[in-house]
Amino acid sequence: MSPMAQSAPASGAPEPGALQPLLPSDPSQLAGYRLLGRLGAGGMGVVYLGRTANGELAAVKVTHAEQADQADFRARFRREVEAARRVVSPWAVPVLGADPDAPEPWMATAFVPGPSLGEAVRGHGPLPERSVSILGGAVARALAAVHTAGLVHRDVKPGNILLAVDGPRLIDFGIARATGETGLTSTDMVVGTPGFLAPEQAEARADEIGPAADVFALGCLLAFAATGRPPFGSGSMDALLYRTVHDEPDLAGVPDGLLDLVRQCLAKRPAERPTAEEVAARLTEDAPGAAADWLPAPVVTTIAARSAAMLALPAIDATAPGIDPAAAQKPSRRGFLLLGAAAAVLAAGGGAYALIDARRDDDTQGDGKAPAPKRNTWAIGLLADLSGPAKEIGQAQERGARLAVEQFNALHKGKPFTLELKVSDDRGDRGGALAAARRLTTDPSVVAVLGPTSDDTGQAALPAFEEAGLPLLTVSAGYNMLALRAAPSPPNTTVLRAIPNHIMAGTYLAWTATLLPQIRRPGVLQERTDDQYSWQYTGGVRFGFKYAGITPHFRVVPGRATDYRKIIGEMIDAGIDAYVHCGVRSTAVRAARALKELGFTGPKFTGQHVFGSAFLEEAGAAAEGWFVCAPVVDPVARAADAKQKPADHKAVQDFLTAHRKRYGTDPAFYTGESFDVVNMVTSWLFTSAAKGPLSRKGLWQALRAQSYTGAMGGYQFDDHGELKGVGTFVYGVENGAYKAIGAAPSSPANKKA
């Protein structure tokens, strides 16, 4: 597959959403717009809500100055402005102003207070058939205007469709291209969003990318709106690109009245797809004008709430031209309405008020005349799944973090500051993870955060930490892109990963298997329930076996597969002498039962997403003899290891004693690592407090550079924030329990290549 660029620099900010407070570093004015808050932010820039002197609201996209200095950037941004201005349609957001030549190029478009299609579906579920039909007709008409202007949008996706009471709006022409134009983008670069691009885009066939590519994306969009999921699934970029080119779409749940049209839009060959005009003609029902009944009630409520929030924004500046300053200060009915709306906003979610108030307290005593008193309480944040699917891990992390904070306060009573633990439960829900993260990142007392529990919530929450410059330390999220960023994205200065990423963990698992010299033909199953994890883990396993000179038998199955007896039977017939499961717990249970039923006697291996008590309970006797690699140490086994250095032995024994005293039980897996990581932060804070005022600025770099030894072992990080060393540990299932075997090897035991 070709290299991937998900969006051009001008389109780096994510979809505009609910209004967030301005940061201290944000400007208050830009080119005649008073900036009122943030609608979104990313590595390439920020989208602000702005208002002109006459009260007109706009979404103002501002790019970072360092992006503007990159080759081709201004040409791309200028092209985005020109493309957006060429499109004339009631269903495309118009450009109100722009300056591609400014030190930080900007563009203002009309503000739509509603959510994006993606946000609406994630928050409220799929749309009914009538809503999808009206949505499709309006977007098709917008695309017809794009194509009439001689352009191809090339990034039609749920985040680029905003929902308003009078119909949807198409936004973002950052990677739009004139038909037949190939300049400014490498011919071998895939441009667009995986899962919402055409096969010709997925294979970077530049000469074939035309209006039909937008129609294919429209088909993906309609399927998503109707079912709540993309028709080619989710997961890694390579997997999505492969499925887009080779697999048939999953259209289960698309209403019968739309099914044929969606299928035609998703034809693999561009010539077999209808035009945007033909799609619009077939979706004959007009958009609803001023009525809001084209959308489900919960979505309308969201639009209404955001519209009401606009009423609660600050009044137009009294010094603006044409406004009488005296008159502006007189009470009015609008003033009372604004007061009521503001109260409603604060009642619904006081995070914005809390941040503004806390920012004032950091700078003054409230009257603007004197510095605020020095802060004597700081906080460690915990972002974890405490009540969702991974609550076993999240609750263990909370115990470890709380124990570390309590220990710090007990040891340093009366010292420069006291520590608190502030907890935010993301419930394992990707849709709510960003809001859960912002409860911590907007709190100025929080200096660093332990979390997240899972990959999905980590990806969703990451923008909040990047915007705030707040370190995020994880002991359980192994998705590689949380720390390793592909160019042209800015390098990671946010995440410290205290475990191996999934690719390296898969490599260590393969090298663990080579400790058994009889293995010559391992079978490797990649199942796609969590495609992102399984694809990365399989990639590591593939590399590990290749480096050892071993050729496995690979099999890939969809996540919905249930007949594991047949799947495993075919692998056994192919001559496998070991089994490696790259997938989640539920499918590992199926595989374990099938292997037992079929009498397979070879060794069986799996990784992090299977490790835990649930696998033992659900697989029962079929789990016996499995080897499971996980990024955690058994603290009881570590305490019993007489080979440790005396200081290390004392550290783990003290941890066990403290945990037993505090909680009355031995610590669960992931508790010790959380205890260590929080102690790593607090030890740096205590040392630094003696040198001057504490600040979270520069903390990531300071933590990354240090070497720390805790109860569970040592922690060092490379320049990317990735853990140095192996960090993967092997467990065997024996008599229904995990038995610690030791650390995974750092190289294959029987290397042949």
Q: Where in the chain is the domain with CATH 3.40.50.2300?
A: 374-500+639-722, 502-630+731-743
Question: Using an 8 Å Cβ cutoff, are 121 and 228 in contact?
Answer: yes
For the cut 70, the answer to whether the pLDDT of residue 368 exceeds it is: no
Closest by CA to 114, choosing from 345, 348, 306, is 306
> The tokens 């985040």 sit on which residue?
159
**Per-residue pLDDT reduced to its tens digit, 200-236:** 998 888 888 899 999 999 999 999 999 999 999 887 7
Average pLDDT value for residue range 355-361: 28
- The region, left, alpha or beta by phi > 0 then psi within -120 to 50, assigned to residue 16 is beta
Q: Where in the chain is the domain with CATH 1.10.510.10?
A: 4-297
Closest by CA to 55, choosing from 37, 40, 34, is 34
More confident residue, 433 or 343: 433
Band (pLDDT 50/70/90 cuts) for residue 421 is very high
For the cut 60, the answer to whether the pLDDT of residue 398 exceeds it is: yes
For the cut 70, the answer to whether the pLDDT of residue 5 exceeds it is: no
Question: Using an 8 Å Cβ cutoff, are 512 and 550 in contact?
Answer: no
Q: Of the spans 269-273, 479-483, 698-702, which averages the highest pLDDT?
A: 269-273
The radius of gyration computed from the CA coordinates of the chain, to the nearest angstrom, equals 28
For the cut 70, the answer to whether the pLDDT of residue 40 exceeds it is: yes
Question: Using an 8 Å Cβ cutoff, are 529 and 586 in contact?
Answer: yes
Question: Using an 8 Å Cβ cutoff, are 592 and 563 in contact?
Answer: no
Which of 19-28, 397-406, 593-602 has the least mean pLDDT? 19-28
Q: Which residues of 335-358 are buried (b: 16+ CB within 10 A; e: fewer)?
A: eeebeebbeebeeeeebbebbeee
- Phi and psi for 405 in degrees, rounded to 5? -65, -45
307: which residues sit within 8 A by CB, 6+ positions away? 113
Rounded Cα distance between 103 and 66, Å, is 9
What's the pLDDT at 303?
85
Closest by CA to 87, choosing from 115, 59, 110, 116, is 110
Output the CA torsion 320→322→323→324 (10° steps): 120
What's the pLDDT at 426?
94
Which of 12-26, 41-55, 685-699 has the least mean pLDDT? 12-26
CA-to-CA separations, 326 to 104, 318, 322, 331, in angstroms, rounded: 36, 8, 12, 11
For the cut 50, the answer to whether the pLDDT of residue 56 exceeds it is: yes
**Per-residue pLDDT reduced to its tens digit, 182-191:** 443 444 445 5
**Per-residue pLDDT reduced to its tens digit, 240-295:** 888 899 899 999 999 999 999 999 999 999 999 999 999 999 986 544 544 567 89
For the cut 60, the answer to whether the pLDDT of residue 16 exceeds it is: no
What's the pLDDT at 169?
93
Rounded Cα distance between 678 and 448, Å, is 9
Tokens (6 digits) for 418: 């006291």
Decide if 155 is catalytic.
yes
Measured at the CA of 721, the angle between CA 718 and CA 726, to 5 degrees, comes to 60
**Per-residue pLDDT reduced to its tens digit, 151-166:** 888 889 999 999 988 8
Average pLDDT value for residue range 692-707: 85
What's the pLDDT at 486?
60
DSSP letter for each residue of 683-710: HHHHHHHTTS---STTHHHHHHH--EE-
Return the DSSP state at 614.
H
Helix (H) or strand (E) holding 448: strand 446-450
Band (pLDDT 50/70/90 cuts) for residue 315 is low
Q: How many residues would you count in the chain?
A: 753
Mean per-residue pLDDT over the chain, rounded: 83
Helix (H) or strand (E) holding 739: strand 737-743
- At 5 the three-state DSSP class reads strand
Rounded Cα distance between 155 and 15, Å, is 12
For the cut 50, the answer to whether the pLDDT of residue 389 exceeds it is: yes
DSSP letter for each residue of 105-136: -EEEEE---SPBHHHHHHHH-PPPHHHHHHHH
Band (pLDDT 50/70/90 cuts) for residue 68 is low
What's the pLDDT at 656?
96
CA-to-CA separations, 724 to 13, 450, 498, 539, 630, in angstroms, rounded: 32, 19, 9, 20, 16
- Phi and psi for 738 in degrees, rounded to 5? -85, 130
What's the pLDDT at 43?
56
210: which residues sit within 8 A by CB, 6+ positions away? 152, 179, 180, 270
What's the pLDDT at 304?
81
Tokens (6 digits) for 605: 């291996």
Average pLDDT value for residue range 134-155: 91
Percent of the chain with pLDDT over 90: 54
What's the pLDDT at 178?
52
Question: Using an 8 Å Cβ cutoff, are 384 and 398 in contact?
Answer: yes
* CATH top class, domain 4-297: mainly alpha
Closest by CA to 536, choosing from 633, 611, 455, 453, is 455
- CATH number, domain 502-630+731-743, options 3.40.50.1980, 3.40.50.2300, 3.90.110.10, 3.40.50.1460: 3.40.50.2300
Rounded Cα distance between 450 and 477, Å, is 11
β-strand partners of 164: 167
Band (pLDDT 50/70/90 cuts) for residue 650 is very high
- Phi and psi for 381 in degrees, rounded to 5? -95, 155
Average pLDDT value for residue range 354-373: 34
Rounded Cα distance between 363 and 356, Å, is 11
Rounded Cα distance between 281 and 137, Å, is 8
For the cut 70, the answer to whether the pLDDT of residue 364 exceeds it is: no
Q: Find the catalytic residue in 155, 214, 385, 648.
A: 155
For the cut 60, the answer to whether the pLDDT of residue 4 exceeds it is: no
Rounded Cα distance between 456 and 500, Å, is 17
For the cut 50, the answer to whether the pLDDT of residue 436 exceeds it is: yes
Average pLDDT value for residue range 6-29: 60
What's the pLDDT at 355?
25
- What is the pairing mode between strands 578-582 and 604-606? parallel
Please name the residue ranges forming H helices in 426-517: 430-441, 455-468, 502-513
Closest by CA to 541, choosing from 528, 530, 553, 529, is 553
Band (pLDDT 50/70/90 cuts) for residue 728 is very high
More confident residue, 417 or 284: 417
Band (pLDDT 50/70/90 cuts) for residue 456 is very high
Band (pLDDT 50/70/90 cuts) for residue 194 is confident
Tokens (6 digits) for 169: 């709006």
Band (pLDDT 50/70/90 cuts) for residue 451 is very high
Band (pLDDT 50/70/90 cuts) for residue 314 is low
State the amino acid at position 173 in one-letter form.
Answer: F
More confident residue, 96 or 9: 96
Closest by CA to 241, choosing from 196, 271, 286, 292, is 196
Return the DSSP state at 633.
-
What's the pLDDT at 162?
93
Band (pLDDT 50/70/90 cuts) for residue 753 is very low
For the cut 90, the answer to whether the pLDDT of residue 734 exceeds it is: yes
What's the pLDDT at 276?
95
- What is the pairing mode between strands 95-99 and 106-110? antiparallel
Band (pLDDT 50/70/90 cuts) for residue 1 is very low
For the cut 80, the answer to whether the pLDDT of residue 414 exceeds it is: no
Architecture of domain 374-500+639-722: 3-Layer(aba) Sandwich (3.40)
Cis status of the peptide bond prior to 255, with omega within 30 of 0: no
Rounded Cα distance between 275 and 298, Å, is 33
More confident residue, 373 or 566: 566
For the cut 50, the answer to whether the pLDDT of residue 337 exceeds it is: no
Q: End-to-end CA distance of the chain: give it in Å, rounded.
A: 26
656: which residues sit within 8 A by CB, 6+ positions away? 635, 636, 639, 666, 667
Tally of CB atoms within 10 A around 676: 25
What's the pLDDT at 77?
78
Tokens (6 digits) for 359: 């920012």
